[in-house]
Homo-oligomer: A and B are copies of this chain.
């Protein structure tokens, strides 16, 4: 991955290390995902599919995923998780619900971090046992509170809004973790509702300004709706300097989540590692079939690891001006195109070699 062009003045959180990856403390916003490989069903009951998880993690890492979470649903899967963690090219976070022994086992089997919801992991003693196991292993814990699983004492309070409940729940847990001397904490407080999510994180960033935040809109839906909800919610937070690591949740191949995550980061100018295409929506002024050209440019740019802005415009009259701050571009006319760089015309190109000539120009930059 190329380095980011631009960083915002961000809330300065304390740095937490998940394996070799720094989260918070001024580091670029870390992009993460989670595997979705079904369990293997062996004679002794379902266990984690080592090969399947590693294959998916490999695909995720190849498109820029920097951290990956793997759910450990039962004790029989702890050793398999250990294999996955050992062989993964990127740090693996263990996701555990309900059974604190699985969390303790994961800490001993190479998890780079734990993600628990202390509200569903059992009694205070059990939470403390998990904290101590993470402390011994020297790994951080993400405290992941969730609108659907708030402590009963909070859930029933009518005097608090849902975002306030989420933030308060997280703050309670942070206080407890820190009172035990454990400070290697990341917080998340997700909802499937964009406004609830945004308000909860805003409150967390005000009240716990130094704790790194994992941001996400949960159960956001399929690619279309999930992209919209994540871009609206996470875009808003990131633009305000909130968020140290992010996950886009889609009911889809998790590889899609990475592409959307980097797209959101670029859209709000927080982190740019990939090319961006500026292309007009076409109208009756447009005298060429622009969509296939834009698609071919998009496809050929996908292998380029630079935050280049490339414009593909449908009319020669407005094109170069409207895309003035593109690094490079082409304005397509009826029988020819005009290549331009930084708003200045470079040369004419013929209609049948527009894309090739554009990429020749990109190569010279």
On A, residues with C-beta under 8 Å from B are 34-39, 46, 48-49, 53, 70-73, 77, 95, 97-98, 146-149, 192-195, 198, 218-222, 224-225, 227-233, 235-236, 239, 249-252, 254, 257, 259-260, 263-264, 267-269, 276-287, 289-291, 294-295, 298, 311-313, 317-318, 321-325
Instruction: Give Cα distance in the complex from A190 to B227, angstroms.
Output: 22
The answer to whether A195 and B70 have CB atoms under 8 Å apart is no
The answer to whether A219 and B281 have CB atoms under 8 Å apart is yes
Cβ-defined partner of A259 (8 Å) among B148, B224, B318 = B224
What residues of B have a CB within 8 angstroms of the CB of A312 in the complex?
251
Q: A231-B231, A291-B251, A291-B252 are in contact. Are A284 and B148 (CB under 8 A)?
A: no
Q: A231-B231, A236-B236, A269-B194 are in contact. Are A37 and B222 (CB under 8 A)?
A: no
Instruction: Give Cα distance in the complex from A268 to B318, angstroms.
Output: 33
In the assembled complex, the CB of A358 is this many whole angstroms from the nearest CB of chain B, namely 15
Instruction: Give Cα distance in the complex from A71 to B50, angstroms.
Output: 56
Instruction: Give Cα distance in the complex from A267 to B228, angstroms.
Output: 7
Instruction: Give Cα distance in the complex from A254 to B291, angstroms.
Output: 12
The answer to whether A324 and B236 have CB atoms under 8 Å apart is no
Q: A236-B235, A322-B148 are in contact. Are A283 and B219 (CB under 8 A)?
A: no
What residues of B have a CB within 8 angstroms of the CB of A263 in the complex?
224-225, 228-229
Chain B residue nearest to A269 (CB atoms) is: B195
What residues of B have a CB within 8 angstroms of the CB of A97 in the complex?
285, 317-318
Instruction: Give Cα distance in the complex from A35 to B232, angstroms.
Output: 26
In the assembled complex, the CB of A82 is this many whole angstroms from the nearest CB of chain B, namely 15
What residues of B have a CB within 8 angstroms of the CB of A229 in the complex?
231, 263, 267
Chain B residue nearest to A146 (CB atoms) is: B322
What residues of B have a CB within 8 angstroms of the CB of A298 in the complex?
221-222, 225
The answer to whether A219 and B324 have CB atoms under 8 Å apart is no
What residues of B have a CB within 8 angstroms of the CB of A39 in the complex?
284, 287
Cβ-defined partner of A282 (8 Å) among B36, B218, B230 = B36
The answer to whether A222 and B318 have CB atoms under 8 Å apart is no
Instruction: Give Cα distance in the complex from A198 to B238, angstroms.
Output: 14
- Which of A98, A146, A267 counts the most B-chain CB atoms under 10 A from its CB? A267
Instruction: Give Cα distance in the complex from A311 to B250, angstroms.
Output: 14
Q: A219-B278, A251-B294, A284-B39 are in contact. Are A323 and B148 (CB under 8 A)?
A: yes
Instruction: Give Cα distance in the complex from A85 to B282, angstroms.
Output: 20
Instruction: Give Cα distance in the complex from A278 to B218, angstroms.
Output: 9
Write 19 A-B pairs (CB below 8 A) sorted by A numbering: A34-B283, A71-B285, A77-B284, A95-B283, A147-B324, A148-B318, A148-B323, A192-B322, A194-B267, A195-B239, A195-B269, A221-B294, A221-B298, A230-B231, A232-B235, A235-B235, A235-B236, A250-B281, A251-B279
Q: Which 6 pairs of residues, A with B, have the shortest CB-CB distance?
A: A232-B235, A148-B322, A231-B231, A71-B283, A228-B263, A251-B279
The answer to whether B322 and A286 have CB atoms under 8 Å apart is no
Cβ-defined partner of A280 (8 Å) among B73, B251, B286 = B251
The answer to whether A281 and B235 have CB atoms under 8 Å apart is no
